[in-house]
Chains A and B, each alone.
Chain A
Amino acid sequence: MSDPVTLRSRAERLAAPFPPLLAGARHLAGSVVLGSHGRRRPGHGDEFWQYRTAVQGDEARNIDWRRSGRSDAHFIRQMEWQAAQSVTIWVDTSASMRFASTRNLPEKRFRASELGLALAILLNQAGERFGLMGHDLPARTGELQLMRMAEALERSGPGGEYGAPVAREMPSRSRAVFLSDFLGDIAPARAALTEAADRGVSGMLIQVLDPQEEAFPFDGRTIFESIGGTIRHETLKARDLRGRYLERLAERKAELQGLCRATGWQYSTHHTDHPATSILLWAWSALERVV
């Protein structure tokens, strides 16, 4: 994670094997901007999509006479539906994300940034608009936006111990992607999600966790400190805590999942010891799925 250029190139590499990502636009009327990429369905657009036989109720001016002249039936010429979608990405860059249990694993923040940027690149290729939450980067498209986003992710210092999304930065009826470990207080996340749902924003939560956070392989007398050093917990027998910690972690996941189900968001967990492509694939298909 030396400079934005390498981060960008790594992200490019990650994004390379994917077909252009096409974000669904459920609430087209609110924030539809005609984009240059078709939706592979009939609609408003410049590109020819298909001929179809005219049925009762079609306007006569829509009939393509040149095509109809070659056969007995009447045909209507349809255009491909083209739309652009804005996606707001939130990458948690707080202190708790600056953690990697072993030297071989990337920090959670790095993995999250990588994922976020990869999504941005895919969106860029698909002609969608994307923005980075919390860095004053409203949804735009283009290489410059990508560059800015990479730079912003790179520059961002640790805010607090745990990060929280800012719901007001999301344009209504847009899409959003939240990348965080969601280990801190869940109230801000809940509030953001609720507000997002209110504003018609749908999206996904990706919980990025270190494998150590899943396994809790500790034993003996231990003082646990948060990365920022502000929170501390001492135990005399760490092994005894394991069961209860895992229980709490599962509760947290279930809570997030429930929250997502209630708001119509997608939820997934990613571990830094797993390859990033699988989660990117999932994110891509999740953006696709929500039409």
Chain B
Amino acid sequence: MLILGPIGFTAPWILLGLIVLPILWLLLRAVPPAPIRRRFPGVALLLGLKDEEHQADKTPWWLLLLRSLAIAALIAGFAGPVLNPDPRTAASGPLLVLMDGTWSDARDWPRRIERVEQALDEAARDGRTAALVVLTDRPEGELPFRAAQSWKAQLAGLTPAPWAPEGAADWAARLDGAFDTIWLSDGLAYDWRAEVLTALEARGAVSVFESPRPIYGLRPAAFEDGAIALSLTRARPEGAATVTVAASGLDPNGVERELATAELEFEDGATEAELSLSLPPELRNRVSRFEVIGTRSAGAVTLTDDALKRREVALIAGQDDREGLELLNPTHYIEQALDPVADLLDGSLSEVLLANPDAIVLADVATVPAGQADQLREWVEDGGLLVRFAGPRVAASDLSRDREEPLMPVRLRAGGRSVGGAMSWGEPKTLRAFDADSPFSGLSIPEDVSVNAQVLAEPDPELSDRTIASLADGTPLVTRKRIGAGQVVLFHVTANAEWSSLPLSGLFVSMLERLAVSTRPSQPDAEELAGTTWTIDQRLTAFGQVEEAGTLPGVPGERLAAGEPGPEAPPGLYAGEDRRIALNVVGPETSLTPAIWPARIPVEGLRTSEERSLAGLLLSLGLGLLALDVLAALWLAGRLTGPRAAAVVAALAFMPLGGEVRAQQAAATTDEGFAVDVTSEVTLAHVLTGNPEVDRVAAAGLEGLGQTLFRRTSVEPAAPVGVNVEEDELALLPFLYWPVTADMERPSDEAYAKLNAYLRTGGMILFDTRDADVSSAGGATATSRMLQELARPLDIPPLEQIPDDHVLTRTFYLLQDFPGRHREGTIWVEAAPPGAEEAVEGMPFRDLNDNVTPVVIGGNDWAAAWAVDEQGRRMFPVGRGFAGEQQREIALRFGVNLIMHVLTGNYKSDQVHVPALLDRLGN
């Protein structure tokens, strides 16, 4: 292969053909274009004229150039040009393809696999054996060198792991033998990199491939100052960038979707970007993870755990009668304790129950109304946390006295007790240390917490189990009972400082936290997690997808606290006893540093420059030039004139556009054609129902009606059209016949909008259920139900049965009934406004209902009575004998009246007043 710069030639000897170009140049120069013979009567005038210039007998230089270029392009094209040729130097010996296989690799994993494939292909071509090792999933023992091609089948099964490799340095040190290495680095610096590199270099040549794509790490979201603080880090500080971060979670329907997006701006030179995202509590509690959009990597995803969830707590106080004494307010201290960490709900019990809070605090509430008690109990059973505080009111009431209230953990003794007061003996009691099985275990008890008064629990076999905190003398201070999935907790003291100093202490806040009334601080420390075991609930893949974890062994709390995911503790959401902790790939302290390679190691971007054959390009260029040469030669010879030139130009200009233009024109003409057709003559139309038989009868009926109109009146309608209410323009039609079928499809909302506009602006629809023979008994038929269904979204005014004096009875013929194929059905038209019945000067006509009724509804199957076939014969029999023909005649007259009514509007109803008006004028 001959390589010239970025272009190589596979058959370079063909390029020798370029030598003929100068010869060709001379040859072409010598041969002038062939003359044209022309018949021309004026030739007599030309005789004796000499050519002034003798240039044209040689080919002009630009045409020569064009031809030479064309030939050169063809020659070069046949010489097999290749862009970015791959000058492979055949190497020998085994090849190690080493991949980091971390989450950072995941962002362009397919490209890496492609690169590996390329390396394996090359190795196979050179007859080398190869081994493919992913550092996060290393084979033990010797490197598995085997035929390079056999590795390709395994490529599809390779996946990166969402953690960093461990013990890579030791592994590399154990390697022996001689081999070359291609190392696909994930682009991040690790402490073992240098050691592994040294070990590999000892075995053979090492080349490194790295992706130029940015690496983003999304730190765990934290809750700060009422908003979610997001922080994004990147490996390389070059360049400004805008990154979109999306918050995903379940929506109220349980469907996972993007709940919010925000943009983070990296400034040039900065590796950190911060964002404060303020979301409504409802939305915030639904967020299950944040992710960088457009990056498939576990580092670009951070799962949220309980740390981000703000619990909704409803505070209900017993009686608020002591106005103004804020510090004595039963809920003041709870509010103070919870306000920074939870969302507080106000309102009555029935109201807050609707909001389904996480916890309800009842401060000194003795009685809950009966109806609400049931609701409250249901709510607790569904997992609610009810926290009750004692108080004077509880102590004075009979609450849980004789038998245990469902919503109280224990029975109470009457009156409670007070210790260390002015009227009692003894000292105020302090708290006993918490038991190990108490949720409060481990909390330190401040010295100064003392209890002056409390309600006392009735001794009970279950009392000790239910006590989770007690005073120094063993009397219960906090008791708890589980009900269903929820629990009821009773503090035997008040929620304010009246009975004890507990609410004044930090212990109170911690106790509330432990009870999960409030949110905990974001990340539990190792100490806190010591000795606990967590099971993974949802795991995060290296590609940043969250999937169900299945069954994996539990993870000790210490391991989680370390915050470093590994094979034994994959990143994901871990569930413990009462909370969930997220283990993310990128922790709050993780910093991403780009890998730095020594100068001697060739580092190649992952973008492999693809070999591209230029033969096709050059050949088509050559052919294009030759085609151009044809045109140029024609033009030069003076044959490209007039219409021929115009045709060539037009052909060139419209070649790629032709089809489209034709399609557009066709669409335009059909649309316009429809409008022109239906407006140039009166056109009767029927709605296409989708039932071909019904549509055929409707069309034939309108045809028959049209013929009758043509013969008897000055209305000369064109052939009827069937309209599709979805697509066709209705506004152009004066009248629509709508046969209703039971299985008709409901029009879309847009079609209804069009129909309503049609009815409002003077159109008329004749709905025909075609079932008057069966429906006259008053039963609802399938078609009439369909009609109700169809007509519900239509703006139809109030209807009435057609009155005897309706204008329809006299617009052309005088009619008393309106039969179609059936004669029993009732006809409904727009109701006359109230008061219209009053006769004007004795005239029997209503004068207010002079608008055309927008709908006429009936079931007489008029179309069948009107219908004619192609020969003009009646298609359906009506009735029997002469009476039947009479009925058909009346049906036709009804049709005539109807169309007259539509077309003349109130003219006919006005007309009946004319004699009276003339009479009055005459007098």
| A234 in the interface (beta carbon within 8 A) | yes
Also in contact, A223 and B36, with CB within 8 A (given A217-B641, A235-B51): yes
Distance between Cα atoms of A223 and B36 in the complex (Å): 6
Interface residues of A in 210-260 (CB under 8 A from B): 210, 212-213, 216-227, 231-241, 244-245, 248-249, 252
Least CB distance from A122 to B in Å reads 28
| B56 in the interface (beta carbon within 8 A) | yes
| A159 in the interface (beta carbon within 8 A) | no
Cross-chain contact of A225 among B40, B51, B638 (Cβ < 8 A): B40
Contacts of A162 in B (CB 8 A): 44
Also in contact, A221 and B34, with CB within 8 A (given A236-B51, A252-B45): yes
- Report yes or no: B43 in contact with A232, Cβ–Cβ below 8 A: yes
Cross-chain contact of A99 among B36, B39, B56 (Cβ < 8 A): B39
CB-based nearest B residue for A252: B45
Cross-chain contact of B39 among A184, A216, A227, A238 (Cβ < 8 A): A227
Looking at chain B's contact residues, is the secondary structure mostly helix, strand, loop, or mixed? loop
Cross-chain contact of B44 among A185, A218, A221 (Cβ < 8 A): A185
Also in contact, A221 and B45, with CB within 8 A (given A99-B39, A227-B39, A236-B32): no
- Report yes or no: B637 in contact with A231, Cβ–Cβ below 8 A: no
Least CB distance from A117 to B in Å reads 22
Contacts of A239 in B (CB 8 A): 638
Cross-chain contact of B32 among A99, A161, A221 (Cβ < 8 A): A221
Contacts of A210 in B (CB 8 A): 41
| B46 in the interface (beta carbon within 8 A) | yes
CB-based nearest A residue for B51: A236
Least CB distance from B631 to A in Å reads 14
Contacts of A97 in B (CB 8 A): 41
CB-based nearest B residue for A233: B46
Cross-chain contact of B36 among A213, A220, A233, A244 (Cβ < 8 A): A220
Distance between Cα atoms of A97 and B39 in the complex (Å): 12
| B47 in the interface (beta carbon within 8 A) | yes
Distance between Cα atoms of A234 and B49 in the complex (Å): 10
Cross-chain contact of A237 among B44, B46, B55 (Cβ < 8 A): B55
Q: Which size bracket describes the interface of A in this complex?
A: 35 or more
- Report yes or no: B45 in contact with A99, Cβ–Cβ below 8 A: no
Distance between Cα atoms of A108 and B43 in the complex (Å): 16
| B779 in the interface (beta carbon within 8 A) | no
Distance between Cα atoms of A181 and B43 in the complex (Å): 12
Contacts of B57 in A (CB 8 A): 221, 236
CB-based nearest B residue for A218: B638
- Report yes or no: A213 in contact with B41, Cβ–Cβ below 8 A: yes
Also in contact, A233 and B41, with CB within 8 A (given A220-B33, A220-B636, A240-B52): no
- Report yes or no: A220 in contact with B56, Cβ–Cβ below 8 A: yes
Least CB distance from B176 to A in Å reads 82
Cross-chain contact of A226 among B35, B44, B55 (Cβ < 8 A): B44
| B639 in the interface (beta carbon within 8 A) | yes
Also in contact, A222 and B51, with CB within 8 A (given A96-B41, A181-B41): no
| B37 in the interface (beta carbon within 8 A) | yes
Distance between Cα atoms of A239 and B54 in the complex (Å): 12
Contacts of A192 in B (CB 8 A): none
- Report yes or no: B43 in contact with A99, Cβ–Cβ below 8 A: no
Instruction: Mark each residue of chain B from 49 to 76: 1 if its CB lies under 8 Å from any CB of chain A, else 0.
Output: 1011111110000000000000000000
Contacts of A276 in B (CB 8 A): none
Contacts of A232 in B (CB 8 A): 43
- Report yes or no: A237 in contact with B38, Cβ–Cβ below 8 A: no
| A183 in the interface (beta carbon within 8 A) | yes
Distance between Cα atoms of A219 and B637 in the complex (Å): 6
Contacts of A216 in B (CB 8 A): 42
Residue of B34, B39, B44, B49 with highest tally of chain A CB at under 10 A: B44
Distance between Cα atoms of A131 and B388 in the complex (Å): 136
Contacts of B36 in A (CB 8 A): 220-223
Contacts of A241 in B (CB 8 A): 46, 49, 51
Also in contact, A233 and B38, with CB within 8 A (given A220-B637, A221-B33): no
Distance between Cα atoms of A236 and B56 in the complex (Å): 6
Instruction: Mark each residue of chain B from 62 to 97: 1 if its CB lies under 8 Å from any CB of chain A, else 0.
Output: 000000000000000000000000000000000000
Distance between Cα atoms of A2 and B49 in the complex (Å): 39
Residue of B33, B38, B43, B637 with highest tally of chain A CB at under 10 A: B43
Also in contact, A233 and B49, with CB within 8 A (given A99-B39, A99-B41, A222-B36): yes
Contacts of A238 in B (CB 8 A): 638
Also in contact, A223 and B37, with CB within 8 A (given A231-B47, A233-B46, A236-B51): yes
Least CB distance from A180 to B in Å reads 11
- Report yes or no: B42 in contact with A221, Cβ–Cβ below 8 A: no
Instruction: Mark each residue of chain A from 172 to 215: 1 if its CB lies under 8 Å from any CB of chain B, else 0.
Output: 00000000010111000000000000000000000000101100
10 closest A-B pairs (Cβ-Cβ)? A219-B638, A220-B638, A96-B41, A237-B56, A221-B35, A220-B637, A224-B43, A248-B45, A236-B56, A224-B40
Give A residues with C-beta under 8 Å from B.
96-97, 99, 108, 161-162, 181, 183-185, 210, 212-213, 216-227, 231-241, 244-245, 248-249, 252
Give B residues with C-beta under 8 Å from A.
32-47, 49, 51-57, 636-639, 641-642
**A224-B42, A245-B42, A245-B46 given. 4 additional CB < 8 A pairs?**
A221-B33, A222-B638, A231-B44, A237-B51
Give me 14 A-to-B residue pairs in the complex whose CB atoms sit less than 8 angstroms apart, sorted by A's number.
Answer: A97-B41, A183-B44, A216-B42, A219-B641, A221-B35, A222-B37, A224-B40, A225-B39, A226-B43, A226-B44, A227-B41, A234-B35, A241-B49, A244-B49
